[in-house]
Amino acid sequence: MNIGIDMMGGDFAPLEAVKGLQTYLSTSSSPANLFCIGNEVELKMLLAHHRVVRAEIIVVHAPEVIGMHEHATKALKDKQRSSIAIGFHMLASGKVDAFISAGNTGAMLVGALYSIKAISGVHRPAIASIVPKVNGSTGILLDVGLNADCKPENLNQFALLGSLYAKDVFGIENPKVGLLNVGEEEGKGNVLTQAAYPLLKDNPAINFIGNVEGRDLFLDKADVMVCEGFTGNIILKMAESLYEAAKQRNISDAFLHRFNYENVGGTPVLGVAKPVVIGHGISNANAFSNMINLAEKMVTSNICGNIIEQFKS
């Protein structure tokens, strides 16, 4: 297995990315080949200093970096020798099986949509995030930011994408799908959710259980919760703030600790043809290590291939 890593993306890269490699290699019994994309001189110095010189590590020189605040489309077009552009070229050409980055989110999304492209039949790819449950299990929420405005058909497809992700990557058999809404009754909600409900109800490929409310998010009512990206992103950022608030108040709680972004690593772009994982801009070593672990799971489970087959049918 070959995984491409943008070593220059993120506020604390490439140092934390190198430390992340160290963490990953020390905990993996059968590590993947890691194609580390970035400034060759700088990376080799850091790898040597932290004693991360292994046969599994291959440095790929990228003399350019796309900044966090650069215009995504323009930057990808103008900086063909950047770590993100080279990473997507390697993914598209089959030199790596997955690509991860904590760099410019817009550039990662543009690269995923235009270099790798959406799977045939998928109207709009989505970003999925995990939702910790009080009982220790894990739920999936999507979309969490890629599609601020949606049509009912989009939510119907998100439900299928989320179900396949929950099953293949998290091992949840026959995941329960809920439509995030302002009430449990079928007629509740705005124009979007009212129109999406019958589509979800008649979709034989998912296990739809009806509407779920905000208070159900952390309970075991649904495994996959569907909404448009505007609502999903607000929920995601609010969930992150729960951990930060607990941390500032010196509260040690196992459930709240699961909201720490480091434990998740990154979020996958579901609906594109190959595994792409986007990390938080402030990713540290633990987050980078967990991004690699997530990319491994996506490749091993063949989630993208399974989505392709599902949408063919």
Residue 26 lies in a domain: yes
Give the count of beta carbons closer than 10 Å to the beta carbon of residue 49.
10
Reference 141, options 150, 152, 133; nearest CA is: 133
CA-based torsion, 21, 261, 106, 178: positive or negative:
positive
How far is residue 164 from each of residues 100, 205, 208, measured CA to CA in Å?
20, 10, 13
Instruction: Please give the Cα distance from 21 to 50 (Å, whole number).
Output: 10
Q: Is residue 298's pLDDT more than 80?
A: yes
If asked whether residues 1 and 73 sit together in one domain, one would say yes
Q: How many angstroms separate the CA atoms of 207 and 223, rounded?
A: 10
Residue 141, CA distances (Å) to 55, 59, 162, 303 in order: 37, 35, 8, 17
At residue 150's C-alpha, the angle toward residues 148 and 154, to 5°, is 125
Q: Let me know whether 128 and 255 are in one domain.
A: yes
Is pTM beyond 0.85? Reply is yes
User: What value does the mean pLDDT take over residues 34-58?
Assistant: 93
Paired with 269 in beta bridges are 127
Establish if 310 belongs to a structural domain.
no
Query: CB count, 10 Å around CB of 212?
Result: 23
307 domain-assigned: no
Mean pLDDT, range 100-109, rounded to an integer = 94
Q: What tokens appear for 82 in the block?
A: 């950047």
**By three-state DSSP, how is residue 118 classified?**
strand
Q: Does the pLDDT of residue 21 top 80, yes or no?
A: yes
Please indicate, yes or no, whether residues 242 and 275 belong to a single structural domain of this protein.
Answer: no
Q: Do 176 and 107 belong to one domain? A: no
Please determine, for residue 313, whether its predicted confidence score (pLDDT) is greater than 80. Answer: no
Residue 52 located in a structural domain: yes
Q: CA-CA distance, 68 to 157, in Å (whole number)?
A: 30
Query: Does 142 lie in the same domain as 111?
Result: no
- pLDDT (average), residues 282-308: 95
Does residue 170 sit in the same domain as residue 258? yes
Do 77 and 180 sit in the same domain of this protein? no
Q: Nearest-CA neighbor of 46 among 262, 285, 263?
A: 285
pLDDT range class, residue 260, cuts 50, 70, 90? confident
Tell me which residue of 167, 265, 287 sits closest to 224, measured CA to CA.
Answer: 167
Distances (CA, A) of 304 to 97, 160, 310: 11, 13, 10
Number of folded domains that form the chain: 2
**Structural domain includes residue 192:** yes
Are 87 and 191 in the same domain? no
Does 72 share its domain with 154?
no
Average pLDDT on 244-258 reads: 90
Residue 164 confidence (pLDDT) above 90: yes
Assign residue 91 the CATH number of its domain. Answer: 3.40.718.10
Q: H or E stretch including 117?
A: none
In a domain, residue 25? The reply is yes
Q: Are residues 194 and 102 in the same domain?
A: no
Q: According to the model, what pLDDT value does residue 29 have? A: 87
**CA-closest candidate to residue 266, choices 130, 158, 78:** 130
Structure tokens at 181: 């809404």
Work out the percent of the chain whose per-residue pLDDT is above 90. Answer: 87
Tell me whether residue 174 is in a domain. yes
Q: Quote the domain boundaries for residue 151.
A: 123-268
Verify cis geometry, omega within 30 degrees of 0, for the bond prior to 143. Answer: yes
pLDDT at 137: 93
Based on the fold, state whether residues 11 and 83 are members of the same structural domain. Answer: yes
Task: Tell whether 228 is covered by a domain.
Answer: yes
Position 199 scores a pLDDT of 98
Q: How confident is the model at residue 46 (pLDDT cuts 50, 70, 90)?
A: very high
Q: Is 64 exposed, middle or buried (0-12, 13-18, 19+ CB in 10 A)?
A: middle
- Provide the residue type at 144 as one letter: V
Which of 178-182, 249-253, 287-291, 292-296 is the least confident region? 249-253
Note the pLDDT tens digit of each residue in 208-244: 999 999 999 999 999 999 999 999 999 999 988 988 8
Judgement on whether residues 239 and 277 belong to the same structural domain of the protein: no
* Token pair for 241: 């703030």
Residues 151-178 have a mean pLDDT of 97
Task: Write down the mean pLDDT value for the chain.
Answer: 94
Beta bridge partners of 176: 207
